[in-house]
Amino acid sequence: MKKVLITGAGSGFGKLFSFELAKRGYDVIAAVESPSQMRPLREEASKNNLSINVIKVDICDSADINYAIAQQADILVNNAGIGEGGALIDMPQTILRKQFEVNFFATTEVAKRFADSLIKRKSTGRIVFISSIGGLMTPELAGAYCASKHALEAVAESFKSELNNFGISVSTINPGPYLTGFNDRIMEASKNWSSLQENHVDHSDLTFDLPQYDENQDISAMCDVIIDSHAKFRNVFPEEFVEIIKTQQRQDWEK
């Protein structure tokens, strides 16, 4: 039975991936950021008759990363992440650095350590980066989040070429707007800092104004990607966003 390590499993996609893969019989290691998330996740899994190993892993904590890697999983789902919304021109540098610390530096560190462990164990495996359509396009007032995901796309591409000879496959999953609560939190994040300075952009009423899909809609298809070492490198969900992204990228050349 293959072990799957999923970071950021306390809510959203991480929790949904954990439950779906446990239903399929995988040995799921659900890594949550905070100790307060452990008991609720265990209880919810138990109510659904699912066996899941819940551990505490803050991906910005080196000791926590050590513990996660020591689980010797076969598949890493690099899902943990945060979203900082608001205009980049107004955003404090500390907030921008925090965005990159979690979504880029810490996420990359977990992937590096996981790959290193597989290579030293002489074992094949798989790394799946949960990116975003924001890694391929940049909606208004989401520049910090999208920049971190654009950077992560480059890491994933590099890992794919570097790890191929070691039998470690790499893919990205690029979700669109799903109703997990994450998109709304991105827009609300600027409330923590926007009132503390004179802004060039009005942040008083930021909302996520795109239609959002049911969070469960494509979980099964995403999990198919997670477990398939022969899956495509880039996997956009919902599928209709593939053409939306390609159209936007073509238009960017003509601006």
User: How many residues in the chain?
Assistant: 255
Give the single-character DSSP code of 69.
Answer: H
Distances (CA, A) of 71 to 25, 64, 162: 17, 11, 23
- Residue 196 confidence (pLDDT): 60
> Per the residue annotation, which of 26, 145, 178, 213 is the catalytic one?
145
Q: How many Cα atoms occupy the beta-carbon half-sphere of 72 within 13 Å?
A: 5
Furthest CA-CA distance within the chain: 56
pTM for the full model? 0.95
CA angle 39, 80, 139 (to 5 degrees): 130
Which of 226, 142, 156 has the alpha carbon at shortest distance from 188? 142
| Cα 4 to Cα 52: distance, rounded to the nearest angstrom | 10
Task: Read off the pLDDT of residues 173-197 as tens digits, 9 standing for 90 and up.
Answer: 999 999 999 998 988 888 888 876 6
- The list of the chain residues with pLDDT below 50 reads none
At 219, list the tokens. 């979980």
| Cα 123 to Cα 240: distance, rounded to the nearest angstrom | 36
Q: Alpha-carbon Rg of the chain, whole angstroms? A: 18
| Cα 75 to Cα 157: distance, rounded to the nearest angstrom | 17
Residue with tokens 């979700």, as numbered in its chain: 175
CB contact at 8 A, 16 and 215: yes
Give the single-character DSSP code of 105.
Answer: I
At 113, list the tokens. 């350590």
Task: Read off the pLDDT of residues 89-115 as tens digits, 9 standing for 90 and up.
Answer: 999 999 999 999 999 999 999 999 999
To the query of whether residue 213 is one of the catalytic residues in this protein, the response is: no
- Residue 189 confidence (pLDDT): 87
